[in-house]
Amino acid sequence: MQNNRTFHLVDWRGDFIREIGLFLADRDPRNVSVVFPHRRPALYLKRFFATEPGLDRPRMLPEMLSFEELVAKLRRGLEAKPLKPARKLDQAALLYDIAVRLRSDQGGLLAELPLERERFLPWGLRLASLLEELLRQGIEPGDLRHLEGEVIDWAAALLEHLDAFHREYLHGLEERGWSTPGLDCRRVMERLAGNADAALEEILTDRRGRDRREVVCAGFYALSGAEDAIFRTLWERDRLHVFWHSDPALALGGPAHPCTAEHRAWLRDWSARAELHGEQPPRERAPEISFVEGFDLHSQLSALRAELLRDPDAADTSIVLPDEGALLPVLHHLPEHKEVNVSMGYPLERTALYQLVETVLRCRENRDAQGRYYWRDLVELVRHPYLKMLRAEGGAGETKGPGLRQVLFWLENAIRSDEPMQDPTQWIPPYGEAPLDRLQGAEAAAVEALRRELLDACLTGFGRVETLADLAEALQRLAGLLLRAGKHLWKSYVTDAEYLARLLTSVIPQLLDTALSREPLGSGTLFALFRQICRAERVSFEAEPLTGLQVMGVLETRLLRFRRLFVLDAVEERLPGSSPVDPLLPDPLRHLLGLPDARERDNVSAYNFHRLIMGSSQAVLLYQSGVQPGALEGKSVRSRYVEQLLWEKEKELGKLVEPGDGPPLTAIRFRSDPVRHGLAEIRRTPALQALLETRLDEKGLSPSQLERYLLCPKLFFYQYMTPLRPLEEMDEDGDRAEFGTVVHEALRDFLLPHLDAQVGEVDVSSLDAAELARLFETGLSQSAFFPRMPLDSRRALLEAGTLRLRQFLASQGKTRILELERPAQGRIDLDGRTIRLKGQLDRVDRRAEGVVILDYKTGGVKRPRRGFWDDDELWRRIDLADPADRALLPDLQRSARGIQLPAYLRMYLDDRGESPYDAAWVQLAKDGRECCLFPEKWTPEERLEAVREQCSLLLRAVAAHLVGCPSFFPVEGRHCDFCDYRGPCGK
């Protein structure tokens, strides 16, 4: 073969796989090896040989390898005995032993750091990755000194001895008979430097020992050190064909696209030239590119679905996802009739399976010394969908028995109403009783056995973890339970089955097959290592056949070509994106070792993107422009590659293109109404009206119920006319309602001996504050919520409550206490209907001015707005009491700010026959002072009129609205943020 220093360049508008296939079709396949950057192009090349018209079949295929497979093959030819692949954890353990020796022999920063194995292992994994990259690049590193302040102390200490780590690492691998991909590259490069002909004999000789003359380097872009060494050696011996899929300007002359920078550098380094190969597409052929801007991912998916429905032909169509996390939303939005193949890697740490294991680990991490688990972790565990779908064994070993769903629902309710730290061994489900009355006999026994096995697999098993082998065993037990009790699921949930297979075939073997597997380690280190392993794992989907709609990642599209192309989420943080921050060797320091940095990564990303776009006939680039939530929220920016293509389109059109102008830039806008769609009113049917009237006739109303209706009629409906009840959930900061009850009871018991019937007038401020504090502390200790609170919260609540009660006593004066916690009744007269009004008065005093009703408040207090009692227009509307006046309730809420004290005044007048002088809130949440309902300057006559007339009108107006309004409508406000019925309301 005579290469004439020429590279074959396939125009990136053409079909690279077809041109390679035509090139190979006329050659003896036994004399050719084709090396691709990755495995997937080989599948398309095989399809070419199987489907291309005019080719003789059957036929032999040439050898097709990825570069990793080529290196592994060459390395096997260099070794007489097989080598054991070194696990990441083995590499980290080897580096720890090296660090201990270096600490003793060379000192430096390593001698100043606590070099425990557990603290070093996560850094050892990072150092192993760095050394592997150096080996693949063929770089002999030097020490990086004086980096204190540039990187954190651990990184500076390791980089200070990088040369020694590199040498000792290689020695340790050889001594143990271990191999790694990086070491394979190094050994092959060493052999090439020493005796290239012998080193290449493996690849250049066919199965019958004949010299194979040709190797095709197909579609590489930026070469690593190992790739450059192997391919250059073949090139210099006239054994290599280099095929590019790139900008034809590299061969024709003239300015080439900026993304081909690495190809131009390759030509210079090898002193070669590029020559166009194969059939040339027409020069006027250019992809039809359109742009779609949406606020978020949902709007992009809506546009994607519309495009796919507009042209239902899925042949030769690909959806490209720069963000792997968009895979599942995309699959859910595709038209159902589409034949879909997924070819990409999905991060294991984003899967539902990993979230289950993460929840289990968090349960273990937050466990206290008594072996009890934090209640929120337990709730998250029992709510996991995998566990809810597990079923006990049925007849003949089939999983058709009863499921765990009902028991887990019961467990969730039990956890929410128990203590913050709980012992799962104390859970005893009430089989045969509500809500588990359907589970009895054999079914109950089967479910109970599965429940106990589940607790053992998720909690008890991980509580005994001390080594990596123990962790692997616990994970194996959990996976075995999922396989056995969930075997009816995995055929339907194929992606979830892939996640489970990855855990079993990759993660667990990494934990077991390592020299560290029996070394005792702390649970924090074990779980950190597990998480770091999972962070590097990707679940691969490589579906076949290669027809139908293809969903792919950016890297999986290399060398492939599609007629229709959809690139989703084409924003700057995805294309080119940014690599995760490396705490060991940050990107600005990589050039010190000669490693590729962000510039080369950006070149690779740009080349992959533009090559893919140029090969399509129709490309739709979708991106989002909305604000990204998070601690550093900011507006998404479309990718620089999209900007470049859009700029070229603007030059062609001769004008700037703005979103919403129409093609080529379309903006997706969803309808946005000022009123939330979910907050519908509830129309009153005759049945609902009859139910309401029956309730009013039989039970009457309380001031708090009227207050609730005034706040929001829809809330009144949910709370008092439906069986819906708020989810009972423990409040770690204390139950406010129960705390209020404790305070009320303490004040009642404290003041009870001082009622007017026993002592007459009393100076409340002179009473024993210590006795009140004792009653309050006793009430707290006997309450259900107080013992469940954390110690610091209990002490804070006790001290704050005692202080507020002392302030209350100090703010009191002389008075006659007439009543404590006494019921009172009244009535509201409507046309043709009398509604009973009943409630309980916290305290009634007789003072020099008259009777004063006191209402203790442990929360906030809001007096009526100034001018409320004299607002003639508002009182005219109150007097009319028109149920059709929907604005009356919000206006009353803003002005009166409550109806409870006016109701107490009217009830006292009706029940006791005496008009009170005033009513007041006692502000226990502040300083214990009284906040009066009526203005201070009012005369007794004005107060009497307000009680007899205005309070009566106010109650009548709200009650008439309650009875006669045609619907229970929502009233939005700040109270919605704390409403128990936000879910059913739609808020």
pLDDT by residue (tens digit) across 634-671? Answer: 567 889 999 999 999 888 888 888 887 778 898 887 76
216 beta partners = 34, 241
Q: Whose CA is closest to 819, among 889, 747, 884? A: 747
pLDDT by residue (tens digit) across 52-74? Answer: 998 988 889 999 999 999 998 88
Q: What is the pLDDT of residue 360?
A: 95
Q: What is the pLDDT of residue 793?
A: 78
Polymer length of the chain: 987
Give the residue with greater pLDDT, 727 vs 519.
519
Secondary structure of the chain: what % helix, strand, coil (to 5)?
A: 50, 15, 35
Q: Whose CA is closest to 320, among 564, 600, 625, 10? A: 564
Distance CA 456, CA 116 (A): 32
pLDDT by residue (tens digit) across 146-179? Answer: 898 889 999 999 999 999 999 999 999 999 989 9
Mean pLDDT of the chain: 87
Q: What φ, ψ does residue 114 adopt, rounded to 5°?
A: -75, 105
Q: Which residue has the tokens 């072996």?
A: 371
List the Cα angle 344/346/351 in 5-degree steps: 155
Q: What is the pLDDT of residue 570?
A: 92
> CA–CA distance from 500 to each of 471, 489, 796 (Å)?
16, 12, 47
Mean pLDDT of 44-51: 92
Q: What is the pLDDT of residue 399?
A: 46
Q: Which residue has the tokens 């830039």?
A: 665
Q: Which amino acid is at 289?
A: I
Rg of the chain over Cα atoms, rounded to whole angstroms, equals 39
Pairing of strands 665-667, 288-294: parallel
For residues 68 and 96, is the Cβ–Cβ distance under 8 A? Answer: no
374: helix, strand or coil = strand
Element holding 259 (H helix, E strand): none
Task: Evaluate if residue 902 carries a pLDDT over 80.
Answer: yes
pLDDT by residue (tens digit) across 690-725? Answer: 999 999 989 999 999 999 999 999 999 999 998 888
Confidence of residue 397 (pLDDT cuts 50, 70, 90): very low
Q: What is the pLDDT of residue 726?
A: 78
Confidence of residue 45 (pLDDT cuts 50, 70, 90): very high
Confidence of residue 565 (pLDDT cuts 50, 70, 90): very high
Element holding 634 (H helix, E strand): strand 634-635
pLDDT by residue (tens digit) across 905-927? Answer: 999 999 998 999 999 999 988 88
Q: What is the pLDDT of residue 400?
A: 62
Task: Evaluate if residue 127 carries a pLDDT over 70.
Answer: yes
The token duo for 88 is: 């990441």
Task: Evaluate if residue 223 carries a pLDDT over 60.
Answer: yes
Q: Which residue has the tokens 């027409």?
A: 282
For residues 174 and 78, is the Cβ–Cβ distance under 8 A? Answer: no
Confidence of residue 630 (pLDDT cuts 50, 70, 90): very low
Mean pLDDT of 117-143: 92
- The highest-confidence range among 402-406, 880-884, 903-907, by mean pLDDT, is 903-907
597 CB burial (10 A radius; 0-12, 13-18, 19+): middle
Pairing of strands 564-567, 549-553: unpaired
Mean pLDDT of 26-48: 91
The token duo for 756 is: 């007017």
Q: What φ, ψ does residue 789 adopt, rounded to 5°?
A: -75, 150
pLDDT by residue (tens digit) across 850-878? Answer: 999 999 998 888 889 888 899 889 899 98
Q: Which residue has the tokens 């992809």?
A: 287
